[in-house]
Amino acid sequence: AAAAAAAAAAPSFYYPSAAGSLYQWHQLQFSGSPPARRAAHTATEVDGLVFFFGGNDGCSLFNDLHILDVEGQTWTAPLTHGKPPSPRAGHGACFCKATNQLVIFGGGDVLGPRHDLFGLDIATLEWTQMEVYGTPPSARMGHAFVAVLPAQLLVFGGGYMDKTFNDLHMLDLEKNVWSRPADSGTLPCPRAGLACTAMGDQLYMHGGADADQIFSDIHILDTNFLRMDFFRQSESDPNSSNSVENSSTSKESANSPPPPRELELGGSENAENSSASLSPSTSTPASSASTSTSTSTSASASASASSSSSSSSSSSTSTSTSTSTSTSTSTSTSTSASASASASASSSSSSSSSSS
């Protein structure tokens, strides 16, 4: 009787038995409008609220948002703002504490697998398509997407059709950059549809499948190396801060770099090779500057050569030669060639005068 009373009072999906060693399932009735039936959607807990997004029912794809208030035992379908993700299933979702956002990555829509990135501001319920530097993971579905630090999220595995992955990617939302951590040890074989969760410093992954088999193995990723690298970099590199404020200050001081490239949409293996530089350069390459100088100087030298030919003056040849010594090597070559042409023209003119 006491256990039944506790179960009725506790708004949870399971509760411990009187012995404290077993769990018992209860189907609870919540007020409000629950989501329509679906599969391949995501559920993300944020401060006692569970955010459900996307999925499919075998005929249609969804991009609606539903929130379950576990304490109040109510469903809500809030009105959101901004640009939401396209209707999709098989995507990844996790909560980023540093930015207070529900982050959605990848999944599949009517166009195929995606590798785009969206954030939902928990306070304002506004969607934004996020722009980041670096090379994003290739388009995929059924991947693991887990937060391991307040602003660092990991993507592992996934795939589409008969292609599966076992690559590890990290998304740093304080620096707005994708990177590839140097993971080591016994690497899980490529798979999609795996289950993954974080406990402390470790990431636990179980199961999944590829085109030939379904797995029952379990792998543990020790994320201490991420934490050590993160704090080591923050301490040793004053220009590489782990704060949003210092990151933006660093960007402003970088001689007006161009804005980051927006992630390409659509599913393609070619997306894996697409990249954006973390440190965009605005300086002109030395080879380009040399070519430009050579071209303009050669034009001037040619004009000088033409003038020298008409006047048949040896002093013009001397001037051209002086110019060649004060300019760059490429300019010297062009000017010397023009000077030779001038000398040849002058010689021809002189022999013509002798004949007459």
**Helix, strand or coil, per DSSP, at residue 304:** helix
CA 52 to chain centre: 24
pLDDT tens digits along 287-308: 333 333 333 334 333 433 333 3
Residue 353, pLDDT score? 38
Query: Whole-angstrom Cα distance, residue 245 to residue 249?
Result: 6
Using an 8 Å Cβ cutoff, are 262 and 176 in contact? no
Residue 254 has pLDDT above 70, yes or no: no
Burial (0-12, 13-18, 19+ Cβ within 10 Å), 170 = buried
Query: Strands 65-69 and 74-76, how do they pair?
Result: antiparallel
Residue 200, pLDDT score? 87
Burial (0-12, 13-18, 19+ Cβ within 10 Å), 88 = buried
What is this structure's pTM?
0.61
pLDDT tens digits along 22-33: 788 888 889 998
CA 346 to chain centre: 64
Confidence of residue 136 (pLDDT cuts 50, 70, 90): very high
Look-up: residue for tokens 């969206």? 118
Average pLDDT taken over every residue of the chain: 72
- Lowest mean pLDDT across 181-185, 206-210, 307-311: 307-311
**Helix, strand or coil, per DSSP, at residue 348:** helix
Query: Whole-angstrom Cα distance, residue 306 to residue 312?
Result: 10
Query: Whole-angstrom Cα distance, residue 323 to residue 294?
Result: 13
Following DSSP, what letter does each residue of 229-275 receive, concatenated? HHHHHHHH-TTS-SSHHHHHHHHHTTTSPPPPPPPPPS--GGGGG--
| CA atoms within 13 Å, Cβ hemisphere of 270 | 3
